Amino acid sequence: MGRYTRRFTFRVGVGAAAFACAWAVCHRWNLRRSGVISFPEEVVHFQPLPRDLKLRQMKESSSFENPFDALIIGGGVTGLYTAVDAAKRGLRVAVVGAGDFASGYSGTSPPLLPGAFPYVQRALRQRDAKWLRRAAEAWEARTIWSNVAPSIVNNNVRTLVPSAHAMEFMELAATAVVATLLSPFFGPWRSCSFVRGKHLLEEFPGAEDKAVGAIIVRDATVDGAAAAIALARTADALGAVTLNYAQVERITGIDNESTSSGRANFVVTISDVNACCGLGDVATSKVEMYTRSIVNCAGALVDEVKQLFPGNSSDDVPTAVERHQLSSYLVMPATALFTGERITGWAGSARALMASSTSYAFSSVMIVPWFDECVLLGPSVTPFSHSPTRAAAAATISGAVPMHSLQASGGHASGADDSTCERICAALKASGVEVDKGRILSCISTVVPVLRDPSSVPWLSNVLSEGYHIAAGGENRHRVHIYGGSLGLARLIAEKAVDKLLNNGITFNVEEVKRLRPCETKWLPLVFGSAGAGMDYYDSLSPLERVRTLVREQYAVRLVDVVSRRTRIAYSSPAEALAALPALAELMRVELGWSSRRAKWELEEARSFILAATALT
């Protein structure tokens, strides 16, 4: 290599390094917490409209000539974040959920928000650099959650990942180093630490596999139910119409020759399934609304909603979900499981464990910090013999059921049999963790869809590699379907879904898109209202004022909403929850104007919910 060639190569290298450093500094600057937008006082203390006024608004404020720009179907975190993104850009948005907000995967899945560690590990194991991009997305998503919703994010979780094999431990160590080096480019410095095998033997003396070492990873938890409520409040404050317990009954296409006319492309019939709860002889009230586009974020029921669209049978993939399965976790007090603090840096109630035993084919078993000083143990995955139908989701009233059926809030199921408990306890015992079954409080489960094989679903690889797939374009005119997803990536998925909706050139023309604002959800704080004031605020309220706050500010319209999602006493303190049900039912009857018949029905449904969740105790 000649002198000039070496000089040129050196200059190119210096230039590339300078460019990379400048990009990293700029990117990190954009993720600073001080960059979050400040809402005016009237938005922070915004009071959502009552439910009946929202139904009237949804009906009267849309017509064929003046429709909503987008209807979001799905009341989970992904659907609500999509509504927030679209409303912030300047679209007229409505969002409906067949059950309560976050009654499905968003509110029942483990709240653990991992960083880059699992994706870096997969990149090293599979020798595939694309997983490093997923690792960067994970770090960035966690930083954004910490910026826009710091009150519901706990960044002090320490996850212990033990290894019983020297080569595997070397892989974990390399993963920890790479993940740590990536962290300052997407947020604060998050280092991993190492644990010697002798300390693991002291902590887990009964483990079947002798551990040679472990890594302690700095993870986080996010309260999915609280995030959904905050997103609903934020969407309302931005002008959207949000409605839970509103089931889509029918979607009718409208022949519209001009794709850029601004007129409706769909007329949607929506049932208020809350109005007839406990009143079997009362017809369900229905509302017809007009919309230019629809985003399907129905989670486990995405295919059931997709089949309502006209012409779905001629779609390339008319149905993508083959079956459903139930993922169950046991709820237990943290103090009953962790008694010692023998490992430095792994102490307190915010401890998590990710272990795998050769006795269980290296299947992972987790201990995850939950809420109310409890932890989740699991998972136990079992086939779901009865596919969750839309009718079951709309009747989703109790939310906690035995494993053989699904009744409950928005496809959310809870409850397990003895075999579930045995599987989880045996897997933990093989990893050295003894579980006192008498201290198990309850079981929480969620329905998870399983997609068909790649020959039937060509984009299955997208779900496996990205964690989600957004179906838009082609036969999906004026509509977007979202498969998969996670709590951590909900904001990113919402951004991409709205981008696809706006940029397909079919629903919105170029001039309309230019008038809209760009995506700003990276810097948009969530509106919590009184929920962000802390426990001191609630302690100062009377019981009636607390219930009134849950109803008026946090969209609670059912008694089971209060005991399972606005609070979690149905899982963490079932005995106290059963004792408090009559008083809570009376307070909600006064606030919501229930009849005696409705109050009695709500009381029985909430009691059934709690008893089902605690069936194995």
Picking from 66-75, 147-156, 181-190, 333-342, which range would have the lowest pLDDT averaged per residue? 333-342
Residue 337: what pLDDT?
Answer: 83
DSSP secondary structure code for residue 330 in this structure: E
Evaluate if residue 69 carries a pLDDT over 90: yes
Mean pLDDT of 171-198: 94
Mean pLDDT of 584-597: 92
Evaluate if residue 95 carries a pLDDT over 50: yes
Burial of 508 (0-12, 13-18, 19+ CB in 10 A): buried
Evaluate if residue 350 carries a pLDDT over 90: no
Cis peptide bond prior to 379, omega within 30° of 0: yes
Mean pLDDT of 395-419: 43
User: 359: which 2 tokens?
Assistant: 């006795």
60 Cβ neighbours under 8 A, 6+ residues apart = none
3-class state of residue 566 by DSSP: helix
**Torsion angle of the four alpha carbons 577, 582, 584, 590, in this order, in degrees rounded to the nearest 10:** 170
Residue 606: what pLDDT?
Answer: 95
In terms of pTM, does the model score above 0.75? yes
Q: What does CATH list as the number for 111-127+144-223+322-451?
A: 3.30.9.10
User: 58: which 2 tokens?
Assistant: 């949804």
Domain boundaries, the chain: 3-30, 41-106+226-318+453-523, 111-127+144-223+322-451, 535-613
Residue 537: what pLDDT?
Answer: 58
Q: What does CATH list as the number for 41-106+226-318+453-523?
A: 3.50.50.60
608 Cβ neighbours under 8 A, 6+ residues apart = 398, 400
Equal fold, 41-106+226-318+453-523 vs 111-127+144-223+322-451: no
Mind listing the pLDDT tens digit for each residue in 411-437? 334 445 678 888 898 888 888 888 888
Residue 369: what pLDDT?
Answer: 95
- The answer to whether 415 and 400 are in contact (CB under 8 A) is yes
Mind listing the pLDDT tens digit for each residue in 499-553? 999 998 789 989 999 999 999 999 999 998 776 555 555 566 777 788 888 888 8
